[in-house]
Amino acid sequence: MARIGPPSLSDAQKAKLWRRWKSGQSLSDIGRVLGEHAGSIHGVVSSNGGIVSEERRRSPRFVSWKERKSVATDLRTVYTASTAEAAEQALDVFEKKWQARFPSIARSWRSNWTNIIPFFSYPPTIRKVIYTTNAIESMQAQLRKVTRDRGAFPSPESVRKVLYLAIEGISKKWKRPIRD
């Protein structure tokens, strides 16, 4: 009979999991090595703060187009706050204003708050790069396209060279700095 619930990993397996996660391996690869399903590995990684939810990007889905701009403006005070305490106060204000119309937004932020708090330990310039993810996602998509189009690589060094050249080409297209 299949086991139900989170994986019971030893301390050595957890250390191996985190080492592999931080080196950039996929959840599927880590699960294969540890003999666990990728969903189980995701549960372990996300419950320990390894995966930060994208609440800022997910929240507007709950709002009509007509009110999206005003909700986003109020929500911006949360993720641009200077500290976690200030962000929690801003979330309280947001919740008081919008709880009646959109209860799922504040509830979603509250349920993921432990994963959001580490975000405030970064300096404001780094946080801005994190919450304006379009440039990052664009670069990742272009790198995926380069590796996908090539198929198999004969060595890890060849992958590094292709990615290096791709990043050189991508960086030539960067025209605008991050806005204030």
Domain of residue 39 covers 13-47
- One pLDDT digit (tens) per residue for the chain, 180 residues: 444 445 567 777 777 777 776 666 677 777 777 777 666 666 666 655 555 445 555 566 667 778 888 888 888 888 888 888 998 999 999 999 988 888 888 888 888 888 888 878 888 877 777 766 666 677 888 888 888 877 788 888 988 998 999 888 888 877 766 665
Residue 62 and residue 97 in one domain: yes
- Tell me: do 59 and 118 sit in the same domain: yes
pTM, entire model: 0.48
Whether 71 and 63 have beta carbons less than 8 Å apart is answered as yes
Q: How far apart are CA 35 and CA 152, in angstroms?
A: 25
Same domain, 87 and 104: yes
152 contacts: CB under 8 Å, gap ≥ 6: none
- In a domain, residue 6? The reply is no
Residues 113 and 60 both lie in one domain: yes
Are the C-beta atoms of residues 94 and 106 closer than 8 Å to each other? yes
Q: Are residues 76 and 33 both part of a single domain?
A: no
Task: Report the number of distinct structural domains present in the chain.
Answer: 3
In a domain, 5, yes or no: no
Cα separation of 102 and 104, whole Å?
A: 6
- Per-residue model confidence (pLDDT) at position 116: 80
Q: Tell me, what's the pLDDT at 122?
A: 80
Q: What letter represents residue 78's amino acid?
A: V
Instruction: Mark whether 105 and 74 lie in a shared domain.
Output: yes
Tell me if 3 is assigned to some domain: no
Task: Give the CA distances from residue 92 to residues 33, 72, 78, 115, in Å, rounded to whole numbers and listed in that order.
Answer: 43, 15, 9, 18
Kindly state whether residue 32 falls inside one of the protein's structural domains.
yes
The verdict on 84 and 113 lying in the same domain is yes
Domain-embedded: residue 1: no
Q: In whole angstroms, give the CA distance from residue 15 to residue 68.
A: 43
Phi-psi group of 73: left, alpha or beta (phi > 0 → left; psi -120 to 50 → alpha; rest → beta): alpha
HSE at residue 24, side-chain half, CA atoms within 13 A, is: 0
Q: Say which residue the tokens 């060849």 belong to.
A: 158
